[in-house]
Amino acid sequence: MFFVAGNVEMLLVDERAVMPRRVMRFIIEGDDQRGPNNAAIIIPPGVAHALRAEGSRDAIMVYGTTTQFNPEFEGRIADDIERAPLPPDWDAYVGR
């Protein structure tokens, strides 16, 4: 994933069997705001991930996969979810 514009909040939870569980939560700034907070993200299999636009601007990203894209495997993006705080069940999942 590479973020062309806007800001994105990213959550990563390493759930791989051979790795210790680690939770990361951070903000990535799009390339339209050149600086040290620009990043491309590569997510390996077994790492749970979620993202949402941060702030009042839309985020634009470039997304690629190593497998053929199948929309049925993807989560649904809904505006009310993007603007909401983390739901209690996700908070509990991240904090375990």
The predicted model scores a pTM of 0.64
With beta carbons less than 8 A apart as the criterion, state whether 58 and 21 touch. no
CA distances from 55 to 15, 29, 58, 90 (A): 29, 11, 8, 20
Residue 79 pLDDT class (50, 70, 90 cuts):
very low
Taking the C-alpha atoms of residue 66 and residue 7, their distance in angstroms, rounded to an integer, is 25
pLDDT of residue 78: 47
Q: Across the strands, what pairs with 3? A: 61
Q: What is the pLDDT of residues 32-58, one digit of tens each?
A: 989 887 888 988 888 888 888 988 889
Residues near 43 by Cβ (< 8 Å), separated by ≥ 6?
Answer: 1, 12, 49
